[in-house]
Amino acid sequence: MPIPTRVGPLIEIKLNKLIKVGFIREVKYPTWISSIVPVRKKNGQIRVCVDFRDLNSACPKDDFSLPIAELMIDATMGHEALSFMDGSSGYNQIRMAPKDEELTAFRTPKGIYCYKVMPFGLKNAGATYQRAMQMIFNDMLHKNIECYVNDLVVKSKMRQDHLQDLRKIFERLRRYQLKMNLLKCAFGVTSGKFLGFIVRHRGIKIE
């Protein structure tokens, strides 16, 4: 699909940013190639998406199960202190296997590039991210943290324990070099949004 001329410069800016942070690299002779699709966000900015539909249809499905959202929401009730966190650039924090990088190749006005990190749009990205989070927080899950892909909630029955619980979570995040998006985090609150619901100490309600 041709890219509208008016968004070409915006796409180039986004591509340069991805190159600068080391998320993508140039490919000379790809065996598989996808197209990019510019999507305009609500704030007017352009999100550069890759149409991985053909690649996804050729990939076997990872049947790793995502958690049951309703059970996770119920498990956050009855806690005096909550902290809500969101993974910064979520999937991009997981490296692609080197042998699979070029399978994500996509055509751009600057040339052909592929992802060095896991991009959005791959059909197994959610399962891969969830598996990683469950491995990282295995001994803490359902005790003082709940993880649904890149949405995390740290919970403490007693408010005075919350700082120590957060410290443990931050130490684990630091160990695995995972970053959170501070603009989407809320710390030490009594209620907050989690998986489309407002979670409170005494109950939940639909947002």
Considering the domain architecture, whether residues 21 and 110 belong to the same structural domain is answered as yes
> In the chain, which ranges are E strands?
24-26, 34-40, 46-51, 81-86, 106-108, 111-115, 145-148, 151-156, 186-189, 191-194, 197-200, 204-206
Considering the domain architecture, whether residues 152 and 163 belong to the same structural domain is answered as yes
- Whether 182 contacts 172, CB under 8 Å: no
Per-residue model confidence (pLDDT) at position 3: 55
- Rounded to whole angstroms, how far apart are CA atoms 15 and 191? 38
Tokens matching residue 17: 């940013």
Model confidence pLDDT, tens digit, residues 173-202: 999 999 999 999 999 999 999 988 898 877
Q: Specify the CATH number for the domain of residue 36.
A: 3.10.10.10
Considering the domain architecture, whether residues 42 and 137 belong to the same structural domain is answered as no
Query: How many distinct structural domains can be found in the chain?
Result: 2
**Amino acid at the residue 100:** D
Q: Specify the CATH number for the domain of residue 183.
A: 3.30.70.270
- Whether 184 contacts 194, CB under 8 Å: no
Q: Tell me the residue range of the domain where 128 lies.
A: 69-94+122-206
- Whether 117 contacts 126, CB under 8 Å: no
Which positions of the chain have pLDDT values less than 50?
none
Per-residue model confidence (pLDDT) at position 98: 95
Considering the domain architecture, whether residues 14 and 82 belong to the same structural domain is answered as no
Considering the domain architecture, whether residues 101 and 159 belong to the same structural domain is answered as no
Buried b (16+ CB within 10 A) or exposed e, 178-194: bebeeeeeeeeeebbeb
3-state SS assignment for residue 4: coil
